[in-house]
Homo-oligomer: A and B are copies of this chain.
């Protein structure tokens, strides 16, 4: 069985740790087959984006699949073949896509014993191996598709947010490395109440704008007053790129996850292409090569390819 799980944009400006959406492309592919031997093994990893561990206890895909099997089919053995088709450490949810694909493949081979939403908690365990902490804002959209809300982490409660179908996004991945450690280090442990209130308003506005297909409300709400100001300093040219994307017509522009990728949410493919070009041009001025992905919001999430 061959499955695909898409790249994702987490946080979506104001929704730190709670919002995310899935892209049509890129994404990761996992081939999986049942084995007579219990446990999960990794047979092959294809990647042009750097080395990934074969040790099943260290690879995000095998950890996620193993946790799933332990709950639903303890005797089942699984052999994985991972085709990495997206950059690692890019802010595009690379480790989440592998975990999502693996756990979805295990779910299919095990006869679909639960709902897609139930898979999120197992994929999170894969995320934890890769990132050091178990976040769901990438794995949830990668599995379920669409625009997702992690309403609560304790207990885990994942919801789908309706959104206008015409939305398109440009995600630009600059070839710079931000260590997750550094991206976490800049986070404040405490938020001034007045900043929290500003973020409350933007989060409520973004959900309202998505639910009511109101582009101007989406645009004005795509504003992160807490995390972006801290993390964006790690990305050369960020503010110039953001302004250029919005001038090109984007509804908003912010970090994809913890960066360094930048996403621009737009009302059409044409605007997304224009915004993507603007962002890439700013990186080029800084002497930084980048890759641009233009995509709709993928409403399917993880899927079987054959």
Find chain B residues with CB under 8 A from A149 CB: 201, 204-205, 208
If the complex has contacts A193-B189, A193-B190, are A201 and B162 also in contact, measured as CB distance less than 8 A?
A: no
Instruction: Name A17's closest neighbour in chain B (CB-CB).
Output: B197
When A190-B191, A220-B152 are in contact, do A200 and B200 touch as well, CB less than 8 Å? yes
> Which range holds the interface residue count of chain A?
35 or more
> A199 contacts the other chain (Cβ, under 8 Å)?
yes
**Contact between A208 and B205, CB atoms less than 8 A apart:** no
- Asked whether, in the complex, the Cβ of B196 is within 8 Å of the Cβ of A199, the reply is yes
Q: In the complex, are the beta carbons of A200 and B157 less than 8 A apart? A: no
Q: Is A45 an interface residue (CB 8 A)?
A: no
Once the chains bind, are B15 and A200 in contact (CB under 8 Å)?
yes
- How far is it, in angstroms, between the C-alpha of A174 and the C-alpha of B268 when the chains are bound? 54
Cβ contact within 8 Å between B202 and A191: no
Q: Confirm or deny: A29 has a beta carbon within 8 angstroms of a beta carbon on chain B.
A: no
A216 to chain B, nearest CB (A): 10
- Is A288 part of the contact surface with B, judged by Cβ < 8 Å? no
Near B by CB (< 8 A), chain A positions 179-200 give 187-193, 196-200
CB distance from A134 to the nearest CB of B (A): 13
Find out whether the CB atom of A199 lies under 8 angstroms from the CB atom of B198. no
Question: B201, A211: Cβ atoms under 8 Å?
Answer: no
Q: A-side binding surface: helix, strand, loop or mixed?
A: mixed
Query: Any chain B CB within 8 A of the CB of A250?
Result: no
Query: Which of the listed residues A17, A196, A212 has the most CB atoms from chain B within 10 Å of its own CB?
Result: A196
Q: Distance (Å) between the CB of A193 and the closest chain B CB? A: 6
Instruction: Please name the residue on chain B nearest to A208 by beta carbon.
Output: B207
When the two chains form their complex, are residues A200 and B161 in contact, meaning their CB atoms are under 8 A apart? no
Q: Closest chain B residue to A19 by CB distance?
A: B204
Measured in the bound complex, the distance between the Cα atoms of B122 and A235 in whole Å is 42
Report whether B187 and A193 are in contact in the complex, using a CB–CB cutoff of 8 Å.
yes
Determine if B187 and A17 form an interchain contact, defined as CB atoms under 8 angstroms apart. no
Closest to A206 in B: B204
Contact (Cβ within 8 A) B204 A15: yes
| Complex interface: chain B residues within 8 A of A189 (CB) | 192-193
A17: chain B residues at CB < 8 Å are 197, 200
Write the A206-218 contact mask toward B (1 if CB under 8 angstroms, else 0): 1110011000010
Known A157-B201, A162-B212; 13 more pairs at CB < 8 Å: A19-B204, A149-B201, A151-B217, A152-B198, A159-B205, A159-B217, A190-B192, A191-B191, A191-B192, A196-B226, A199-B200, A200-B200, A207-B211
Q: Which A residues lie at the B interface, using CB under 8 A?
A: 15-19, 149-153, 157, 159, 161-162, 187-193, 196-208, 211-212, 217, 220-221, 226
Shortest 3 CB-CB contacts between residues of A and residues of B = A211-B211, A151-B205, A190-B190
7 pairs, A vs B, C-beta closer than 8 Å: A150-B201, A151-B204, A159-B208, A161-B204, A200-B200, A207-B207, A208-B211
